[in-house]
Amino acid sequence: MPPAAPAPDLFVVLGATGDLMERKLFPALYAISGPKGGEGARPLRVLGASRRAWKDEDFRAYAVTSLVQGKVASSAEARRWADASVAFHSFGDDPNAGIATLARRIADEEKAYGLSGNRVLYLALPAEAFPPTIAALGAASLSKGPGWTRFVIEKPFGRDLESAEALNALIHRWFEEPCVYRIDHYLGKETVQNLLVFRFANMLFESVWNRDRIEQVEITVAEDLGLENRAAYYDETGALRDMVQSHLTQLLTLTAMEVPTNLEADQVRNEKVKVLRSLEPIRNEDIVYGQYGAGRTGGLPVPGYLEEPGVRPGSPTETFVALRLRVSNWRWHGIPFYLRTGKRLPEKLTRITVRFREPPVWFFGQGDARTVTANRLAITLQPDEGFSLGIEIKRPGHEIRLETHELHFLYSEAFGPLSDGYQTLILDILRGDQTLFVRADEVEEAWRVFSGVLSNPPKVERYAAGSWGPAASDALLLEDGHTWSPP
């Protein structure tokens, strides 16, 4: 006889009526536990919870709408999955009383549906709701269960070093660190994970991945959109807290880290923490803040940040950050890492560009023939996932004239569409693999890097929507004789 199917695990989402559930979590959970589940598929019972006075049927209809509008499943497929696997619990406005009733509902679900006793508790809540919810989960004894319990929390992990330390202390009061999964969804992207393979499985690159062969490293995370109805959150947060301290810093650590002894989660994360501890203090001349004014994106006029609905009059919030960081260790001493992110830039783009040094001796002729373009490696994380390497070649003809051409690899050409990062991360949570999740000390070290900037921020400079940021961003690189790589 074939082995019996494993009992389903319980996946509990607190804040399940929000945008994250609709756009990301429902499609990922369906991909894992639905009828078309591929590699890593496993049975799940999904229990959504929030303050809304919804019933099971309301939440199931929400799931169907999400899957159909996202073109993940047909209406009939989505309905069958939702009816079989999705439920809802309303816990009202009082966290303590509401979470106590949720604990009873969890026990009832596990008994009624013969679940495994394994639980994921996923906080998809506003940051201000984290502390009371975590305390209520602990008070209701939901930090332990009949099987394993894994606690998942979305960023932001605090607003500064002090608040991050306080949040970690509260989490650790109830949940041990091996059970805690801090999600930075950028780490779920295939191309981010491929950074480790690209660097450490290809001696061609790892052997030149150092100060002797590399002149500069750029990390750009550009957004062409504005606030998109997030003014209440963004105007209190800004680009440095929202993007730099998390996404860009994570990409920096993966680009600069040393070879781990193995691919166990803590070995990889140990090397990332070493990078953060090696960063030199950020000086005033190392960072540029910008805020977009009116301009044009996609050929259409758009308002400036201060004209966006919900933004405080005269708000000083930065929508653009460019900064220069230096990793003070043997591999990277003296090599600048330039980080840049912003809203209302010309296009949506996430790219790491490594510029190698020019040849030390040039002997191919005089005049134009002497022009050489340094080799550039561009690792694109979105939208066209892959990489390209610019190399110099000789143009046909008698004279020695050079042109730059690119060797390239695209994931879409080799493998077709990639799965969403949330699907990867949720599967890792269910497997108990923390490699792609941020550890407590990593969070705190990342905040420590930016503590000086947060306490003494630079003046915000205006830039036109649809441009690549304020002129001071270009001047930052020109000080070193460098320029931003073309998109």
Query: Residue 1 has what pLDDT?
Result: 44
Query: Residue 487 has what pLDDT?
Result: 78
Read off the pLDDT of each residue in 296-310 and give the average, rounded to a whole number.
93
The pLDDT of residue 3 is above 90: no
In whole angstroms, what is the distance from residue 254 CA to residue 199 CA?
10
Domains and CATH numbers, the chain: 9-154 (3.40.50.720), 187-419+440-478 (3.30.360.10)
pLDDT tens figures, 435-474: 999 999 999 999 999 999 999 999 999 999 999 999 999 9
Query: Residue 483 has what pLDDT?
Result: 92
Query: Residue 332 has what pLDDT?
Result: 97
Query: Residue 180 has what pLDDT?
Result: 97
Query: Residue 364 has what pLDDT?
Result: 65
Q: Is 333 tagged catalytic?
A: no
**Residue 319 corresponds to which tokens in the numbers above?**
């929508």
Contact 142, 99 (CB under 8 A): yes
Read off the pLDDT of each residue in 20-24 and give the average, rounded to a whole number.
93
Contact 119, 148 (CB under 8 A): yes
Predicted TM-score (pTM) of this structure: 0.92
Query: Residue 190 has what pLDDT?
Result: 81
Candidate ranges 39-53, 89-103, 276-290; pick with highest mean pLDDT: 276-290
In one-letter notation, the amino acid at residue 246 is: S
Read off the pLDDT of each residue in 227-252 and give the average, rounded to a whole number.
92
In whole angstroms, what is the distance from residue 311 CA to residue 306 CA?
6
Catalytic pick among 89, 185, 247, 333: 247
Lowest pLDDT segment from 137-141, 325-329, 421-425: 421-425
In whole angstroms, what is the distance from residue 435 CA to residue 187 CA?
9
Q: What percent of the chain has pLDDT over 90?
A: 72
Mean pLDDT rounded to a whole number for the chain:
91
Would you place residue 39 in the very low, low, confident or very high pLDDT band (cuts 50, 70, 90)?
low
**Residue 25 corresponds to which tokens in the numbers above?**
């979590």
Read off the pLDDT of each residue in 231-238 and give the average, rounded to a whole number.
92
The pLDDT of residue 362 is above 80: no
**Rounded alpha-carbon distances, angstroms, from residue 57 to 82, 87, 453:** 9, 8, 48
Query: Residue 304 has what pLDDT?
Result: 96
**CA angle, corner 249, sides to 246 and 251, nearest 5?**
110
Read off the pLDDT of each residue in 338-357 and give the average, rounded to a whole number.
96
Query: Residue 370 has what pLDDT?
Result: 56
Dihedral class, residue 6 (left if φ above 0, else alpha if ψ from -120 to 50, else beta):
beta
Dihedral angle, C-alpha 414, 418, 424, 425, nearest 10 °: 130
How remote is the C-alpha of 397 from its chain's centroid? 48
The pLDDT of residue 482 is above 90: yes
pLDDT tens figures, 43-94: 999 999 999 999 999 999 999 999 999 999 999 999 999 999 999 999 887 7
Contact 377, 408 (CB under 8 A): no
The 3-class SS string of the chain reads CCCCCCCCEEEEEECCCCHHHHHHHHHHHHHHHCCCCCCCCCCEEEEEEECCCCCHHHHHHHHHHHHHHCCCCCHHHHHHHHHHHEEEEECCCCHHHHHHHHHHHHHHHHHHCCCCCCEEEEECCCHHHHHHHHHHHHHCCCCCCCCCEEEEEECCCCCCHHHHHHHHHHHHHHCCHHHEEEECHHHHCHHHHHHHHHHHCCHHHHCCCCCCCEEEEEEEEECCCCCCCCHHHHCCCHHHHHHHHHHHHHHHHHHHCCCCCCCCHHHHHHHHHHHHHHECCCCHHHEEEEEEECEEECCEEECCHHHCCCCCCCCCCCCEEEEEEEECCCCCCCCEEEEEEECCCCCCEEEEEEEECCCCCCCCCCHHHHCCCCCEEEEEEECCCEEEEEEEEECCCCCCCEEEEEEEEEHHHHHCCCCCHHHHHHHHHHHCCCCCCECHHHHHHHHHHCHHHHHCCCCEEEEECCCCCCHHHHHHHHCCCCCCCCC
Lowest pLDDT segment from 172-181, 254-263, 363-372, 455-464: 363-372
The pLDDT of residue 119 is above 50: yes
In whole angstroms, what is the distance from residue 336 CA to residue 59 CA?
50
In whole angstroms, what is the distance from residue 388 CA to residue 380 CA?
8
Phi, psi (degrees; rounded to nearest 5) at 290: -135, 160
Contact 103, 140 (CB under 8 A): yes
Phi, psi (degrees; rounded to nearest 5) at 285: -80, 0
pLDDT tens figures, 139-175: 999 999 999 999 999 988 999 999 999 999 999 999 9
Would you place residue 366 in the very low, low, confident or very high pLDDT band (cuts 50, 70, 90)?
low
* Sequence-ordered list of residues with C-beta below 8 angstroms from that of 420, at least 6 positions apart, any chain: 24, 27, 28, 31, 188
Contact 103, 91 (CB under 8 A): no
